[in-house]
Amino acid sequence: MKEELDLRDFDVLGIIELDDIQGIEKYVTPIMKNGTKGTFLSRSREYYNVKSMSELASCREELKMKLTQEISRRNFVILENMANCSGRVYFKMFERYILNKKAPVYREKMERARKCLLEDVKNIMTILQGEGKIEINPDKVLPYGDENSEQRAIEMDNKAMLYLFAKTLKLNKSPDEIEILTPGYGATYIGPMFNVMYGYDFTNTLKSKYIDSTIGLEKEYVPIRDLISSERILQDKKTILLIDDNVGTGTTIAELRETLRKSDVNRVITGAIQYNWRNYCRVSIGDKQGIERFEIDDFDILSPFNYAGHKLYKHAIAMLLSSGDEYIEYLHSKDYRRKDYCDLEGLVVRSLQYAQETGLTLIDKTVISDRKKVKEFNGSILQRYQGGPRKITNPISIKTMQDFIKTTEMIASDRGIPKSE
């Protein structure tokens, strides 16, 4: 049974529903209807459990044997679980590579995992595009080892949003002129998606506020050269596209940009896939204290995809591990998985509303902005923020914001993204 996939089918976490689960029963979570199993959610405990490198490598090999050539939801589940194995192993080997002062043995393991990750992301892109051939090289096998994967989930793990972002953001430069730089574990899939889509190479760095205390790099200053997976970003001809998975306060991007400047790397374009527009609003009216809001002029690439927040993701995953029904009920309580529009569109609706409540207009007119939502916050703008901004002024930011919203509208209206875009 072939079940085709549409980008509208993904919820806020990147989970879809499917019926055909033959041979992949342990990788999905049932939704009960009248006491019996109805349809299924595309992730399960298997996706989020902590596993050793050997367990992840064996799991990926097991999943390979279940693949067919169909462009189907079932194959998407298989490939996403394969990429989950590859991504977790890749990041752990990268972390060990840095901690062991770039020892060759860890570089070799990191590169092996990188090849597997690129293969998996390329095949996922084939499913999302709805055309092409699924290709598996039997010689690409993850490295084995006793190290455990991260306990936390990879935050930018919504493949539809990642695909939409990369598809919309093609730069007018040749691949050898661009290097994608991503900070931390949450951004693991960003570089590979740009690589398989456009050929842009990518570099990872551990310079993330969530990493410093975890692995003991709490020095006053660590040269960027000691924290990166490759030194391509230090080449003169490269323009660096610094992309984080999400922006809350903007601290991570600001600190990393300053670190790059100290190494004479100044050709940097910054941005993120998601921005916490809700907190932007809450800080602006004094509803949330103790943190600063990000400032839109600090970034080149602005996104209309509201970041739902670490707590929501954590609670949603906990509900999924309990039951599929509790997961759906929880997201419904947070106004996700609606019947009238998909979650990708809902994230844009939220961003437009939260920004507008501070007096900031992200885009002048859009079909999405016409959707009516109840005003969430009541309060006046704090004195320090009453000067604005009222609109986006960076030409790059204006263009990317318009393009992201236009592409989301096309998906929401079932027109899809033109394959020639």
Q: Are residues 172 and 140 located together in one domain of the fold?
A: no
The pLDDT > 90 percentage for the chain reads 81
Query: pLDDT digits over 264-305, tens only?
Result: 999 999 999 999 999 999 999 999 999 999 999 999 999 999
Q: Are residues 6 and 132 located together in one domain of the fold?
A: yes
Q: Are residues 139 and 4 located together in one domain of the fold?
A: yes
Tokens of 375: 């005003």
Q: Are residues 96 and 211 located together in one domain of the fold?
A: no
Number of separate domains in the chain = 3
Q: Are residues 139 and 208 located together in one domain of the fold?
A: no
- Residue where one domain finishes, among candidates 144, 159, 186: 144
Q: Are residues 135 and 174 located together in one domain of the fold?
A: no
Is 7 part of any domain?
Answer: yes
Name the burial class of residue 409, with classes exposed (0-12), middle (13-18) and buried (19+) by CB atoms within 10 angstroms of its CB. Answer: middle
d(CA 25, CA 399): 44
**80 CB contacts (<8 Å, ≥6 apart)?**
42, 43, 47, 124, 159
- Residue where one domain finishes, among candidates 79, 111, 144: 144
Nearest by Cα to 14 from 91, 167, 124: 124
Tokens of 380: 């006046």
CATH of the domain at 171: 3.40.50.2020
Q: Are residues 134 and 226 located together in one domain of the fold?
A: no
Which of the four pLDDT bands, split at 50, 70 and 90, describes residue 210? very low
What is the pLDDT at residue 254? 94
Is 2 part of any domain?
Answer: yes
Q: Are residues 259 and 190 located together in one domain of the fold?
A: yes
What is the pLDDT at residue 268? 96
Is 70 part of any domain?
Answer: yes
Q: Are residues 89 and 25 located together in one domain of the fold?
A: yes
Is 150 part of any domain?
Answer: no
d(CA 389, CA 359): 8
d(CA 300, CA 302): 6
Q: Are residues 92 and 191 located together in one domain of the fold?
A: no
- Domain containing residue 186: 167-275
Is 303 part of any domain?
Answer: no
What is the pLDDT at residue 190? 98
Q: Are residues 139 and 62 located together in one domain of the fold?
A: yes
Which of the four pLDDT bands, split at 50, 70 and 90, describes residue 413? confident
354 to each of 234, 335, 394, how far by Cα in Å? 38, 15, 20
Nearest by Cα to 285 from 377, 382, 386, 360: 382
Which of the four pLDDT bands, split at 50, 70 and 90, describes residue 421? very low
The pLDDT > 70 percentage for the chain reads 91
Q: Count of CB atoms within 10 A of residue 85's CB?
A: 27
Is 54 part of any domain?
Answer: yes
Q: Are 291 and 260 in contact (CB under 8 A)?
A: no
Q: Are residues 364 and 233 located together in one domain of the fold?
A: no
- Mean predicted confidence (pLDDT) in 165-175: 90
Q: Are 411 and 172 in contact (CB under 8 A)?
A: no
Is 289 part of any domain?
Answer: no
